[in-house]
Amino acid sequence: MSTKKHFETEAIRKQSKRSQFSEHSTPLYLTSSFVFDDAEDMRASFAEEKDKNLYSRFSNPNTSEFVDKIVSMEGAESGYAFATGMAAIFSTFGALLQSGDHVVSCRSVFGSTHTLFTTYLPKWDIETSYFNVNEVDKLERLIKPNTKILYAETPTNPAVDILDLELLGKIAKKYNILLVIDNCFATPYLQKPIEFGADIVVHSATKLIDGQGRVLGGIAVGRSDLIREIYLFSRNTGPAMSPFNAWILSKSLETLAVRVDKHCDNAFKVAEFLESHSNVNWVKYPFLKSHPQYKVAKKQMKLGGNIVAFEVKGGIEAGRIFLNKIKMCSLSANLGDTRTIVTHPASTTHSKLSEADRLEVSITDGLVRASVGLEHIDDIINDLYQALNT
């Protein structure tokens, strides 16, 4: 019988070894370095003959506990924790790509990831080709002999499109390229890309993993040979997660399943409400039957997540008016918080893009993104209702 327990149990019961004080909950190890018994202990530890902590840029009991939990939750072999999600993504590229390599990515990626592809990776002669979410059939034609990584997020930000992970896994395997998935919107509770063939899964732990809008964090997990490269790159370049943030995030994981269940329940109700409202053109939520990739979402996700995208009637101006009328929900750039957050990408985060470029990432003028929180569902719906009624 396997000793691996259920997801919720692993999230709670996986802990660093107790200290001499027999504490029940893992304490915070605010120490930059660790000591050795003698010269031989120190030599063997540095030679990696012993599994000991040396210095907190390399590892720390708090970051290791957080990493071990996500590794178990994602079904990965190993992992490394970072100060932010972007540090995890950049370090993954830094470790696995060489100058002259090529990346194929879905165009709908987090804004800073897009900036890495278009501004920074080209500095090292690494090129990226994009495919659109609704043109996955064209993806194979973008693959070249120097393609090293196939990269995607699903569900996508902010339009909540779904990419077929099984299909991406098959393509990556066929061409012998690495599949890297940003699993931030789903969390390992809802979706496990490794089961579909992902080699590396990255997260911004800042979002649903923390879930309470307090700390920044990131993580990369996956195949141990690749994580070893990412670890060596990171221990030398220094984007490590702080023990304090790891302590908070490991604690957050203890409630990930109950929080995400409730987030999804609230989000589904918000999506149904919006679909019935006459001032809303359309609603996109993975577990609504009207979602274009509903079947794929059902295949690869346990529940639909907490992000709902919808279009208010009346274009950019209507989107701005809607935001101004919101009373309780927050206008903020974060997501995956206990507090419901609404954003209007066309007038804010994506306002610098041309209309044509916005449409490439499915951002229409009246698109609103709601990150549905944990307030009482009636209060969330009442706020959206009063803001939609002109």
Ligand X SMILES: *Cc1c(COP(=O)(O)O)cnc(C)c1O
> What is the contact surface with ligand X in residues (CB under 6 A)?
84-86, 110, 153, 157, 182, 184-185, 204, 206-207, 216, 218
Segment (H or E) for 148: strand 147-153
Asked whether the beta carbons of 47 and 82 are under 8 A apart, the reply is: no
CB of 156 to ligand X, least distance (A): 8
200-204 vs 218-222, strand pairing mode = antiparallel
| Helix 224-237 × helix 85-96 angle, to 10° | 110
CB of 112 to ligand X, least distance (A): 6
CB of 174 to ligand X, least distance (A): 26
Instruction: Provide the Cα torsion 370, 371, 375, 381; round to 10°.
Output: 20
CB of 333 to ligand X, least distance (A): 9
Q: What is the DSSP letter of 353?
A: S
Q: Specify the residue for token string 């409730």.
A: 262
Residue closer to ligand X by CB (options 86, 363) is 86
Residue closer to ligand X by CB (options 101, 210) is 210
CB atoms < 10 A from the CB of 125, how many? 12
Residue closer to ligand X by CB (options 157, 383) is 157
* Cβ neighbours of residue 55 closer than 8 Å, sequence gap 6 or more: 32, 33, 34
Count of residues for the chain? 390
Residue closer to ligand X by CB (options 153, 161) is 153
Amino acid at 205: A
Amino acid at 167: L
Q: Which letter, b or e, does each residue of 320-341 get, where b requires 16 or more Cβ atoms within 10 Å of its Cβ?
A: bebbeebeebbeeeebbbebbb
CB of 84 to ligand X, least distance (A): 3
**Residue at shortest CB range from ligand X:** 85
CB of 360 to ligand X, least distance (A): 17
CB of 241 to ligand X, least distance (A): 11
Residue closer to ligand X by CB (options 64, 84) is 84
142 vs 123: CA distance, rounded Å: 21
Residue closer to ligand X by CB (options 92, 204) is 204
Alpha-carbon distances, residue 93 vs 100, 113, 212, 221, 305 (angstroms): 13, 11, 28, 13, 27
Residue closer to ligand X by CB (options 248, 318) is 248
Residue closer to ligand X by CB (options 201, 271) is 201
Residue closer to ligand X by CB (options 273, 371) is 371
Round to the nearest angstrom and report the end-to-end CA distance of the chain. Answer: 61
146 vs 127: CA distance, rounded Å: 10
CB of 202 to ligand X, least distance (A): 8
CB of 88 to ligand X, least distance (A): 8
Dihedral sign computed on CA atoms, order 278, 280, 285, 291 = positive
